[in-house]
Amino acid sequence: MRHNGRAPIKASRMRPEHLNLREGETPLAVCPDCESWHRLTRSMISPHRDSSDKPAKTGGRRYYGDKPERRRRCPGSAQRITIDLTPEQWGQALLAADSTATGRRSARQHHKPIQAPATPVTKMVPAPLHAADVLAAYSKHLKECRKSGAPGHCDQTRRCVTGFRLAAQYDLLSRGQDKRDSVNRKEARVDALLTRHRAGVAARRATTEWAKQHDATSAPAALAKRSGTAIEDANNTCRTRPADTVSDYRGPHVPTATLRITA
């Protein structure tokens, strides 16, 4: 079998997934022209027909009249492949290519959240109107209506239907806003009174508590009598001791000599 006259292709220059060099299996390679798998015979791709030139529903043949025509020979037939790789090297290159392709693919799947269904028109709540927005629309309408000069347009003393409707709507919203402002002022006033009352109650409670503490600490005799010790009596008295007087904290149990600690 003669080759196709092209220069040999080195196996190391081909994509590893386009070769099959496993031990114990027939060597295979992908044709560079028609990109189909074929057996390697004597380091050449076995002769084959162009698979891309296959006619439909004719069993692989073209018919022109009564004479059938076979498919043309693939130019990649008998292409020489120089096997300059061992099966181990080819396997390592195949694993490296597979890991590179896996790294390019994201393992994490991103799912778009399902959008909530739209609110039915029958359940839609219109946006609340504000007096400032209606006033701006009313002012804009007055300017445009006066410039138009149409019959029944707005002037200094008269308003058209649209102007009258906007004026009435603004009046209604402004009254409602005034009522809401009045209620808010009353609520703020009540909150201030409650805060002031709570602060007064807390202050009076603290004053009473401090008075109780003062009365309890200003009666040393009762405390000493309840405790039953002279030291408790002297401690609760907390009186200023004049100079050059002897302290009540004395006795044989109080050391008077200097204590020296030796190692």
In this prediction, residue 119 has a pLDDT band, given cuts at 50, 70 and 90, of confident
* β-pairing verdict for 37-41 and 44-45: antiparallel
In this prediction, residue 56 has a pLDDT band, given cuts at 50, 70 and 90, of very low
Per this entry, what is the length of the chain?
A: 263
Q: Of 131-135, 139-143, 173-177, which has the strongest mean pLDDT?
A: 139-143
User: Does 220 score more than 60 pLDDT?
Assistant: no
Q: 10 forms bridges with which residues in the sheet? A: 82
User: Does 63 score more than 50 pLDDT?
Assistant: no
**Structure-model confidence comparison of residues 14 and 159, the more confident one:** 14
What pLDDT does residue 255 have?
63
**Structure-model confidence comparison of residues 42 and 67, the more confident one:** 42
* β-pairing verdict for 28-30 and 81-82: unpaired
Indicate yes or no: pTM above 0.85. Answer: no
Q: CA-CA distances (angstroms) from residue 237 to 165, 220, 233?
A: 85, 5, 6
User: Does 262 score more than 70 pLDDT?
Assistant: yes
Q: Please report the beta strands in 137-185, taking only residues with DSSP state E, as ranges in sequence order.
A: none
**Mean pLDDT, to the nearest integer, of 116-121?**
78
What pLDDT does residue 186 have?
80
Phi-psi region of 152 (alpha: psi -120 to 50; beta: other; left: phi over 0): left
What pLDDT does residue 181 have?
75
